[in-house]
Amino acid sequence: MSRIRAAARRRPLRQRLAVIAADPLDALDGAGGWVFDQSLAGWDVSVHVLDVGDPRPWRIMGSDVYDLRGSLDRRGHHPWPQALAISAALLDSHEQIRTEALAAIESGRCEMRVLGAAESIGTSNRLEPGRHRLSLAAQAFKRRAFAAAHMNSETVGGVEAFLGSSRIPFAAAAELVSLGN
Phi, psi of 85 (to 5 degrees): -125, 120
pLDDT for the residue numbered 88: 86
pLDDT for the residue numbered 80: 72
Residue 11 domain-assigned (yes or no): no
Residue 1 domain-assigned (yes or no): no
d(CA 106, CA 92) in angstroms, rounded, equals: 18
SS (H, E, C) 20-62: EECCHHHHHHHHHHHHHHHHHCCCEEEEEECCCCCCHHHHHCC
Residue 7 domain-assigned (yes or no): no
**Single pTM value for the model:** 0.77
Overall domain count for the chain: 1
Q: Is residue 164 a contact partner of residue 127, using CB atoms and an 8 Å limit?
A: yes
Residue type, 33: G
Residue 114 domain-assigned (yes or no): yes
pLDDT along the chain (181 residues), means of 10: 52 79 88 92 89 87 85 63 87 84 78 76 68 94 94 91 66 46 44
Residue 9 domain-assigned (yes or no): no
d(CA 6, CA 136) in angstroms, rounded, equals: 38
Residue 168 domain-assigned (yes or no): yes
pLDDT for the residue numbered 133: 95
- CATH classification at residue 41: 3.40.50.10320
pLDDT for the residue numbered 178: 45
Domain of 101? 17-178
pLDDT for the residue numbered 69: 77
Containing H/E element for 145?
helix 136-148
d(CA 75, CA 84) in angstroms, rounded, equals: 13
pLDDT for the residue numbered 126: 67
